[in-house]
Structure formats: structure tokens, C-alpha cells
Structure 1
Amino acid sequence: MTGRVAAVDCGTNSVRLLVADVVDGTLTDLERRMEIVRLGQGVDRTGRLAPDALERTFTAMRGYRKLIDQHGAVATRVVATSATRDAENRREFVDGVREIFGVVPEVITGAEEAELSFTGATRSLSEGAPYLVVDIGGGSTEFVVGSEHAEAALSVDIGCVRLTERHLKEAGDPPGAVALEAVVADIEAALDLVTHSVPVERAHTLVGLAGSVTTVAGIALGLPEYDPERIHHARISAQDVHEVTRRLLAMTHRERAEIGVMHPGRVDVIGAGALILDRIVRRFAFSQVVVSEHDILDGIAWKLA
């Protein structure tokens, strides 16, 4: 089909909306929204979605439903990822989403998430294949290698919210060396799994997605405020990734909050997110990362069309 479609992505940290027109192989944004709702609050520890986290998510979704109706989208797809995969009470989430949107949310597997992210991130890239697409989320990170399509993928349970709650929440401000070493150990263990499952050595270009990556890029570019047009397809050197990560991990919460490109809901988790990107660049010896503002939302929209 072609026409006006709506894609909703509900992750561990944020819920996002894309309303777009898809005509003759071109995707044109009408609305692209993001709200940090921290749906995955406490899931790593309790295995359940917290009532207040569910209500924050449903409140954001009700606003999205109004926008979808205003634009007259002819098809809507709601996708949920890491936090809801892990939660014992995900039926409460499913029922709430059905009530709001009139469709059942798809609690997709890590492999499905990887395929959608790859499609969204690489559709507008014209050179540099094969790609390693890395989508750093709140609860998990997806690794996908491919050229025109995803050829190998793995989702691992490292994400900025999960690692922050596991190791950094009570680790001082800024966090101490012991806590950071624990984060690195978890990341490296996950990267061992990636090495054994995904042919990273085939990739010529590292493509980074999601808020941790785009925030690091905005800081590296010295932007006074968040500017998606400047960030999209920016090439950030490995040296800049390492330097920004070092600075973030040495800052207090207040200092991070004062960074112009920083979303308030990302202040407490950006250190872990940046460290994931930093260790990926180091482990797989990429000289730079190509940053993409296009991601799983765009992949959902393309699949709808």
C-alpha cells in the first residue's frame, strides 16, 4: 500500500510516534514525536511493569492517538520491545494499548526489532555497505549486519536504563570506578555473544541509532541545542566518542542536565548509553560512527507501506 501511516514504538525508556506519507518509494514525515516515559522502570529487578510507568506510557499514547486521528492515518502499527518482552504482567500493557489505539501491540522479538531498525536506518544510505547497525535502547541493544537487508542479527540485554539501574543508581555522583567496571564487564560479556553470532568483521560502516547515540553526537558536534537535521548522518570519530563518554562519566547529574542537547529524561542514563557505544567502537575497531535519526519507526512505516 501507499498512503498515510502511523508507527508507534514503545521501548524501555521512551514511546515514540511517526506519522508519515509513503508515496512512490519516498517517506515524508508529518509528525515525529518522542516522550520519555521509562516504561522499563524496575523491570530488570522485579520482572514486572510498574503501575506508574504504565500510566505514564498510556498518557503519552493517548496524546499520540489524537495526532494520528488529526492526520487521518489509514493504518497504524504499535510495536513494543525489550521491557515488555521481559515483563510478567505484559497483558496489562497489551490491554491498555488496545483500548487506546484499537489495535493489539506487537511485542516483537529482538530479531524482529533488529530487522525493522536496519530497514529504517539504511534505506536512505547510498554508500558504505555492508553496515553494522547498532540500536542502543533502554533495555537491550540490537546488532545487525547486512547490505540491502539484514543478514545476521542479535539482540543482547544491555541498555542504558538496564545498566544504570543495575550498577549506577547508587554508585555516587559521578559514579565510582568499581561501578563503571561492572558496567563495562556486562557490556563486554554481551559483545562476546555478538562476536560469536554476528559477522561484525564484514561490516565497513558502523551506523548508530537511538537517543544515547544521537545525544553523544550532539555533544561531539558542539550543538547548543538538539538539532536532528545536523545530527542525522553526522560522522562522529572514534576519538570524539571516547572523549564525550569520558566527560559524561566524570560529570555530576546537575552538570549533565545543563548540556544543551540533553533531553531531561536522559540525564540519568546517558552515561551508561555512551559507555555502550564507546565499548562497541573500541571492541570492533571502527574509526567512526554514522549517526542516524531514522530507525525502527521508519522501518515500521516502510513495512506498513
Structure 2
Amino acid sequence: MTLRLSSMRKGIRRLAAVDVGTNTVRMLVVSETEEGFRPVIRMRRITGMGKALRETGAIGAPEFAASLDALRDFRKELDRLGVVEYRACGTAALRESSNREEFLAEAARAGIPVGIITAREESRLTWEGISGGGGTGDGTLLMDIGGGSTELIAGPGKRDFVSLPIGVVLLSASFPLSEPPRSWELSNLGHFLAERIEAGTDLWKRRRFRRMVGTAGTFTTLAALERRMRIYRPERIDGVRMTLAKVRRWEKRLAGMTEAARLALPGMEKGRERYIVFGVCQAVAAMERFRIEDLTISDAGLLEGILRGLCGRKGRG
């Protein structure tokens, strides 16, 4: 999926961020401005890098190849646009896979060296990408549901984040669902998520949050579904708000459908129909855990955080 967001004028310094994720490989190219940066092009490829991770401990051959193909296409765009500096980050799948060194070597040969970041660094960059390096307001909990891990982020401090190995790709391997899912399967999944989130955030039991900000594919898909978007538009995703009751209604509706029926919904990107139920169940479990009634969805996140770091320093990539 490619979105060209602005005209491409000569003489403008361009930067890029690449996220090699467990389910999706993404790139955002921007032009540097006095105010920060202006998006030029977004590219996204669902490659399912972590699909075989739970079973084999490694990136599967088809997903390995698909992810490298995505990086090769990204490299062509970087050259075409004259990008002067970029940073490519690998997250949960590359942190955990036994063949990560082989992938990193092939990525470098493809022209995009990838650095694996820790869960802590991923959380910090996501926070900065959404908050702009400032605050998001007291009582805000950020939730980033990925393919391999889920991050809950309450601030930029060392004790303000929790990373849980409950990403949607890993969950799909541990909790296979029927078509459509059966009630007992959903019940088991819900109980597991509630227990893992509660145990993982035990040190936060006295914290109170007024709202949740959700980023990454589960949440942006929810916003696209809510707005019945045939063509994905980031500017129409940012700021979409949902109550807990609305999220629960989507959970019930999506869980009552087959993957084919989900894919037919306006706003459902091909490749997400398999994982969306796992993600929405997580969102509900987290909102219930912290008694949050208000969700705001953000299209920004890790990529924007990477770019803010690049804008803050000089040099060439």
C-alpha cells in the first residue's frame, strides 16, 4: 500500500523512517520544515514476518522473502526521492527470531541496514511520536498493539511502560479461532488477555487513567471501519474517538464473522482480517482493566518518533 501525500519539490531535505514489524513493514518519508516535518509518502506491506515464530522460533521463508522485497522497494523510493538520512528499526519479531542475523545481513545487502531496538526504546519512540516529545496530558495511557508484542505506555520514564508478548500474530498461533469463532474460544482468549494485562501492569494498580490513545494497525483499522473508508486516509484516522461501548460492539460484530466477511467490510485492509479480533479483544481487556471509557485513535506512533529523533540531529544516512 502506497500513499503519496504531497508534491515532491527539489531542494528540500528529506528524511525517512522504516519499521520492520512482526506483521507489517512500513516506511514514512518526510520533508524537513521549520515546524518539524511534512509527510511526502507512506508505504506499507503486510508480510507476516512473525507468522511462524511461535511454532519454529524463526522467521518463515515466505515471510522472510516478502519482508526483504518490501525493503528493496523502499530502497528504490529512498533513492528516487533523494532521502539524505533515514533510520530503520526492527521490533518484536527480530528481537525474538533465531534467524535474525541472517535477515539483518540480507536487509543490509538490500540497501536498508536495520537496527533492532529494545521494547523500552520502542515504547519511548512511540510516546514521542504521538506526543511530539511533550506530554499527552495527565491520565493518558498509550496502547500500541503490534504483531509480536503489545506496549502500554504511561509516559517517557523507565517505569512508565510495559511490554507484553501478546501481539496479534503470536496470539493467532496460540489461540486458533474457528470460522466464525466459537463462544468458548473467545471466552478463553478474553480470560487470558485479562490475566496477562493485569499481571503485567500490577505495579500500576494505583494509577488512574482518564483516556486511552491507541496506535498501530488494530486501532487504525477500527477507525477505518467506523468511517467506512474505502481508501485509507491518515488525516481522517487521527483523532477518531470511540467509547468502550462502541469498541465492545465492534468486538462482538467482528467476532461473529468469518475472515472473508470481515475482509468485505469497508475499511478492512487485506491481511488484517485474520488478526483484528485478537487486537480488538486486547483493546477491550485493557480499557476494562483500567476502567477507561474513552479511546482516541492516532495514526502517528513509532515512525514519527524515529523521525523526531532524526530531525533533532544533523548528519547524513
Per the normalisation by structure 1, the TM-score is: 0.92
1:83-122 equivalent positions in 2, closer than 5 A: 83-103=93-113, 105-122=114-131
Deviation for aligned residue 1:212: 0.6
Deviation for aligned residue 1:201: 2.3
Q: Does structure 2 retain, via aligned residues, the 8 Å contact 1:132–1:200? A: no
1:155 match? 163
1:116-265 equivalent positions in 2, closer than 5 A: 116-123=125-132, 128-146=137-155, 149-150=156-157, 152-168=160-176, 171-198=177-204, 201-265=207-271
Q: Which runs of 5+ in 2 are unaligned?
A: 1-11, 312-317
Deviation for aligned residue 1:192: 1.9
Deviation for aligned residue 1:24: 2.5
Aligned with 2:27 (options 8, 17, 22): 17
2:92 match? 82
Match of 2:207, SS state, is helix
Give the partner amino acid of 2:40.
Answer: L
Number of residue-to-residue matches in the alignment? 299
Q: State the distance in 1 between where 2:281 and 2:228 align.
A: 19
2:4 match? none
Match of 1:40, SS state, is coil
Cα RMSD after superposing both structures: 2.0
Q: From the superposition, tell whether residues 37 and 183 of structure 1 become closer, same or farther in structure 2 (CA, over 3 Å).
A: same
Q: State the distance in 2 between where 1:22 and 1:219 align.
A: 32
Q: Does structure 1 retain, via aligned residues, the 8 Å contact 2:123–2:151? A: yes
Give the partner amino acid of 2:161.
Answer: A
Aligned with 2:279 (options 273, 280, 289): 273
Q: From the superposition, tell whether residues 186 and 22 of structure 1 become closer, same or farther in structure 2 (CA, over 3 Å).
A: farther
Give the partner amino acid of 2:142.
Answer: V
| 1:288 partnered with 2:287 | no
Match of 2:236, SS state, is helix
Q: State the distance in 1 between where 2:197 and 2:112 align.
A: 39
More helix by share: 1
Q: Which runs of 5+ in 1 are unaligned?
A: none
Give the partner amino acid of 2:265.
Answer: I
Q: From the superposition, tell whether residues 204 and 128 of structure 1 become closer, same or farther in structure 2 (CA, over 3 Å).
A: farther
Q: State the distance in 1 between where 2:152 and 2:302 align.
A: 13
Q: State the distance in 2 between where 1:224 and 1:139 align.
A: 27
Q: From the superposition, tell whether residues 127 and 48 of structure 1 become closer, same or farther in structure 2 (CA, over 3 Å).
A: closer
Q: Does structure 2 retain, via aligned residues, the 8 Å contact 1:153–1:198? A: no
Per the normalisation by structure 2, the TM-score is: 0.88
Q: From the superposition, tell whether residues 124 and 224 of structure 1 become closer, same or farther in structure 2 (CA, over 3 Å).
A: farther
Match of 2:297, SS state, is strand
Match of 1:185, SS state, is helix
Q: Does structure 2 retain, via aligned residues, the 8 Å contact 1:157–1:190? A: no
2:7 match? none
Aligned with 1:64 (options 43, 51, 74): 74
Give the partner amino acid of 1:294.
Answer: A
